[in-house]
C-alpha cells in the first residue's frame, strides 16, 4: 500500500478478509453542510452502514496523510475546522505534499477508495456539467474520475444547479453506466423525478452488483453510477426548489464566485434560502444511499466469493 495512505485496522482487516466496506466522502462534511448537522450526518451514516454489518470508511486527507477510515475526533475536526481545503483529484498531491488537511470530493474519494481496494461508495450528489458550461467550461472532475476509476458511486442524481441533460450526455460519452435504482428516471437530488430517463435500471442490490462485476470483468475500468431517488416522504417540491436554485445561481453570478468555490457556495446558499429544509432533505437522501450502498457492497462480496470458489 502507498505510504501516503493510512487505513484503520478495521478497514484493513475487512478488506484482507474480503468483507464488505463502503467508502464515504468528506467534502460533503467540510464544504457541503453546516456544523453541527454535518458531523451528526457523518456519524449517522457510518452507523447505518454498520447496521448492515458492513464497514464504513470515511476518506479525507489529514496533516498530509490520506486516511481511509476516520476516528470520531477526526470527523469532528473535518466538520468544524475552517482549515480544511476542498480536494478533488487535481488537488490531492498538493494537499498531501504540503502536509495540510483536505476534504475529498467524489472524484478524490473514488481515487483513494480504489487505491485501498474498496468497490462501493455512498454520497449525496455528484458534481456534473454546470448550467452555462458552454461559456464557463465548468464540468466537475467527478465525471472524469467516473470514466476511469472502477468504483460504484451511489448518489441521488444531481441538483439542478447543474444541467442535468448535459450531465447525462457527458456520462454517456465517458462510458459511465448510470443505473436507476427502482426507477426509470434520473433523480434530481431533492426530487425523485427530473424528466430525464435513465439508460438502465436495477431493482435489487444483487442486480447492481452483477452489473459491476460483469463490467469490471470485461476490463472496462470506468466506474458505475447508481442513481437512487430520495425517499418519497423527504422530497422537496420541485417548484419550491427550482425558484431557490435560480436565486442561488444569480447570487453566485453577482458575487463572482467561480471554479472550485462554485459548488460549496451554491450548497450553502440553498440551505440559507430554504431555511434548512433543503438540509433535511439532503441528510435523508444520504441516509438512504448509505443503506443501499451497504447492501450492494454485501452482494458484491458474495459474487466475488462465488467466483473464486468456482475457479478453485
Residue nearest to Mn ion (CB): 138
CA 173 remoteness from chain centre: 20
| Residues forming beta bridges with residue 66, ordered by sequence position | 5, 61
Residue 269 in the binding site for ligand PSU (CB under 6 A):
no
For ligand PSU, the closer of residues 108 and 209 by Cβ is 108
- Residues in Cβ contact with 295 at an 8 Å cutoff, skipping those fewer than 6 apart: 52, 205
Which span (13-21, 75-83, 94-102, 259-267) binds ligand PSU, by CB under 6 A?
259-267
142 is in an annotated binding site: yes
Q: Tell which one of 142, 163, 235, 299 touches ligand PSU (CB under 6 A).
A: 142
Residues 215-244 that bind ligand PSU (CB under 6 A): none
Catalytic status, residue 260: no
Stretch binding ligand PSU (CB under 6 A), from 47-55, 123-131, 168-176, 298-306: 123-131
DSSP string, 103-142: EE-HHHHHHHHHHHT--EEE-S----BBTTHHHH--B-HH
Distant-in-sequence, close-in-space partners of 26: CB < 8 Å, separation ≥ 6: 58, 59, 60, 78, 84, 103, 104, 109
For residue 310, give the 3-state DSSP assignment. helix
Rounded-to-integer distance, Cα 297 and Cα 274, Å: 34
> 55: annotated binding-site residue?
no
105 touches, from ligand PSU, Mn ion, none (C-beta below 5 to 8 Å by class): ligand PSU
Is 81 marked as binding a ligand?
A: no
Q: Which of residues 37-76 bind ligand PSU (CB under 6 A)?
A: none
Tell whether 311 is in a known binding site: no
Distance separating alpha carbons of residues 129 and 221, to the nearest angstrom: 22
The answer to the question of residue 25 lying near ligand PSU (CB under 6 A) is yes
Return the residue of 138, 145, 163, 185 that touches Mn ion, per CB under 5 A: 138
Residue 100 binding target from ligand PSU, Mn ion, none, CB below 5 to 8 Å by type:
none
Residue 28 interface partner, choices Mn ion, ligand PSU, none, CB cut-off 5-8 Å depending on type: ligand PSU
Which set of grid coordinates corresponds to residue 185? 428516471
φ and ψ at residue 123, rounded to 5 degrees? -145, -165
* Binding span for ligand PSU by CB under 6 A among 34-42, 170-178, 228-236, 260-268: 260-268
Site string for ligand PSU, 77-116 (x = CB under 6 A): -----------x----------------xx----------
**What distances in angstroms separate CA 93 from CA 99, 113, 191, 239, one per listed residue?**
10, 16, 36, 42
Partnered with residue 237 across adjacent β-strands are none
Q: Name the minimum Å distance from CB 243 to Mn ion.
A: 24
Query: Which of 22-30, 93-101, 250-258, 296-304 is the region at the interface with ligand PSU (rule: CB under 6 A)?
Result: 22-30
292 phi and psi angles, rounded to 5 deg: -65, -45
> Which grid cell is 163?
444541467
Q: How far apart are CA 113 and CA 98, in angstroms?
A: 21
Residues that bind ligand PSU (CB under 6 A): 25, 27-28, 32, 88, 105-106, 124-125, 127, 140-142, 159, 189, 260, 263, 267
Residues that bind Mn ion (CB under 5 A): 138
Catalytic residues: 25, 159
Residues making up the binding site for substrate: 86, 106, 140-142
Amino acid at each position: 500500500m502507498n505510504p501516503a495512505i493510512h487505513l484503520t485496522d478495521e478497514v484493513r482487516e475487512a478488506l484482507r478478509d474480503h468483507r464488505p466496506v463502503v467508502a464515504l466522502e468528506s467534502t460533503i462534511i467540510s464544504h457541503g453542510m453546516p456544523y453541527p448537522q454535518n458531523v451528526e450526518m457523518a456519524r449517522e451514516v457510518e452507523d447505518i452502514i454498520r447496521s448492515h454489518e458492513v464497514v464504513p470508511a470515511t476518506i479525507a486527507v489529514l496533516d498530509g496523510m490520506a486516511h481511509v477510515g476516520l476516528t470520531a475526533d477526526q470527523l469532528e475536526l473535518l466538520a468544524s475546522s475552517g482549515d480544511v481545503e476542498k480536494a478533488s483529484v487535481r488537488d490531492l498531491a498538493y494537499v498531501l505534499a504540503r502536509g495540510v488537511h483536505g476534504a475529498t470530493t467524489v472524484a478524490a474519494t473514488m481515487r483513494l477508495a480504489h487505491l485501498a481496494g474498496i468497490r462501493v461508495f455512498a454520497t449525496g450528489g455528484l458534481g456534473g456539467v454546470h448550467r452555462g458550461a458552454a461559456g464557463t467550461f465548468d464540468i466537475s472532475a467527478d465525471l472524469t474520475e467516473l470514466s476511469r476509476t472502477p468504483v460504484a458511486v451511489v448518489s441521488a442524481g444531481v441538483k439542478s444547479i447543474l444541467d442535468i441533460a448535459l450531465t447525462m450526455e457527458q456520462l454517456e460519452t465517458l462510458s459511465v453506466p448510470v443505473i436507476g435504482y427502482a426507477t426509470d428516471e434520473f433523480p434530481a437530488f431533492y426530487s425523485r423525478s427530473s424528466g430525464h430517463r435513465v439508460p438502465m435500471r436495477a431493482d435489487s442490490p444483487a442486480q447492481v452488483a452483477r452489473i459491476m462485476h460483469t463490467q469490471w470483468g470485461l476490463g472496462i475500468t470506468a466506474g458505475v453510477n447508481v442513481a437512487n431517488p430520495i425517499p418519497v416522504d423527504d422530497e422537496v417540491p420541485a417548484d419550491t426548489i427550482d425558484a431557490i436554485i435560480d436565486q442561488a445561481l444569480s447570487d453566485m453570478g453577482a458575487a463572482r464566485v467561480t471554479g472550485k468555490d462554485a459548488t460549496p457556495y451554491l450548497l450553502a446558499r440553498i440551505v440559507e434560502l430554504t431555511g434548512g429544509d433543503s438540509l433535511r432533505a439532503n441528510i435523508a437522501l444520504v441516509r438512504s444511499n448509505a443503506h443501499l450502498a451497504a447492501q450492494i457492497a454485501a452482494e458484491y462480496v458474495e459474487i466475488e466469493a462465488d467466483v473464486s470458489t468456482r475457479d478453485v
